[in-house]
Amino acid sequence: MTETAFVPDIIPGLVYQDIRAAHDFLVDVMGFASGGLYEEGGRVVHGEVRVGERRIWLHRVTHEHGLDAPRALPLNHGGIVVFVPDVDAHYARVKAAGAEVTSEPVDQAYGQREYGVRDPEGHRWYVATPLPAAVVRS
């Protein structure tokens, strides 16, 4: 009998007070693909966006599970890094949409050109393009 190899995957889950608005920002401003919105009783309770082959789940605030959106907290706990083919073109798109840019595109010593943006509920996103090896500083 042959055993099928299990390939692990990861799906980040981000908490939002307004899942529909978060979904629309990530699709319309950040350029992600929609994975759909799910409603119960006329209220959006779950959403999904896709970045390439990866999925990100958008979860509702649930105090019984200790989940809240970053804008309700004094500090953020982390951020998400997304690689794109052209970070400067992506930055121009996001800036033109009026998003809150937290850092301009800059070449980083660790081998990527990146900028930062915060979504409407405070999640930090870092958008990057790897630098050619010859440009990387040591």
pLDDT higher than 90, residue 15:
yes
Assign residue 111 the CATH number of its domain.
Answer: 3.10.180.10
Q: Find the Cα–Cα–Cα–Cα dihedral 24, 28, 34, 36, rounded to 10°.
A: 20
Task: Please check whether residue 76 lies inside any domain of the structure.
Answer: yes
Q: What is the mean pLDDT of residues 16-42?
A: 96
87 in any annotated domain: yes
Mean pLDDT of the chain: 90
Is residue 24 helix, strand or coil?
helix
Provide the domain count of the chain: 1
- Coil, helix or strand at residue 20: helix
The mean per-residue pLDDT over the stretch 20-37 comes to 97
Whether residue 68 lies inside any domain: the answer is yes
- Residue 2 confidence (pLDDT) above 70: no
Residue 28 structural domain: 13-135
Residue 5 lies in a domain: no
Inside any domain, residue 6: no
In a domain, residue 31? The reply is yes
Q: Would residue 4 count as lying in a domain?
A: no
